[in-house]
Amino acid sequence: MTGHHDRVTAAVEAAYRDEWGQLVATLIGLTGDWDLAEDCAQEAFAAALATWPRDGVPRRPGAWLTTTARHRATDRLRRDATGAAKLRQLAVLERDPAAPPVEEIPDDRLRLIFTCCHPALRFDARVALTLRTLAGLTTAEIARAFLTAEATMAQRLVRAKRKIAEAGIPYRVPPAEALPHRLAAVLAVLYLIFNEGYDEERLDARRALTAEAIRLARVLCRLLPAEPEPAGLLALMLLHEARRATRTADGVLVPLERQDRSAWDAALIAEGVAVLDGALASRRAGPYQVQAAIAACHATAPEAASTDWPQIAALYGTLARLAPSPVVALNRAVAVAMADGIPAGLALVDELAAAGTLTGYHLLPATRADLLRRAGRTDEARRAYREALALAPTEPERRYLAARLAELPDSAP
CA–CA distance, 314 with 336 (Å, rounded to integer): 9
- Decide: 116 and 129 in contact? Cβ < 8 Å: yes
- Counted residue by residue, the chain has a size of 413
pLDDT in tens, 176-218: 888 888 899 999 999 988 887 776 555 455 567 888 889 889 9
- pTM (2 d.p.): 0.80
* Among the listed residues 56, 72, 71, 69, the one whose alpha carbon sits nearest the alpha carbon of residue 11: 56
- The DSSP code sequence of 200-231 is TT--HHHHHHHHHHHHHHHHHHHH-TT-HHHH
pLDDT in tens, 226-256: 999 999 999 999 999 999 989 888 888 888 9
Q: What is the DSSP letter of 249?
A: E
Q: What residues form DSSP beta bridges with 252?
A: 249
Please identify every stretch of the chain with a pLDDT value under 70, giving residue numbers as ranges.
Answer: 1-2, 4, 80-107, 199-207, 411-413
Q: What are phi and psi of 253, to 5 degrees?
A: -65, 135
Residues 6 or more apart in contact with residue 320 via CB below 8 angstroms: 328, 329, 332
